[in-house]
Amino acid sequence: RWSPAFKRHDSPLAAIWMRLPGLTLPLHNPSLLKAIGDSLGRFLRADDATLKFKNPRSARICVEMDLSVPPPPVFVATFGELKFQQSIIYESRLLYCTHCWLQGHCAQTCRNCKRKHVAGP
């Protein structure tokens, strides 16, 4: 999140849209979607199609996630006596470089790392 004291290397957080394929229609409830999102990061919103039940085969939510931590491909949800494993399809590339602290690539492909190796000591 931005603040007046923001420094680019301080924030590996990003808003990520994700789909939850096969999530049953009763679980498209806004409070349950928020609970799911909060278990993955910080829930920001669900898309209009999900809230209006226009796509019963999949829910779509936006969650603020820490990209320095590998994102889970699935999660186990428990609502009362209901317990299930839910897969996640991320709509964005979830890459974060721990070398230069920028999003969009990882340390293995960082140009800054390659420049240092080419230049030598």
pTM here? 0.73
75 neighbors 86 (Cβ within 8 angstroms): yes
Look up tokens 């290397």; give the residue.
Answer: 9
In 1-121, DSSP assigns E strands to 13-21, 42-46, 58-66, 74-79, 82-87, 89-90
CB environment 74-83: b (16+ within 10 A), e (fewer): eeebeeeeee
Instruction: Give the 3-state secondary structure percentages of the chain, helix then strand then coil, rounded to 5.
Output: 30, 30, 40
Q: Tens digit of pLDDT for each residue in 29-85?
A: 999 999 999 999 999 999 999 999 998 889 999 999 988 888 899 998 887 888 889
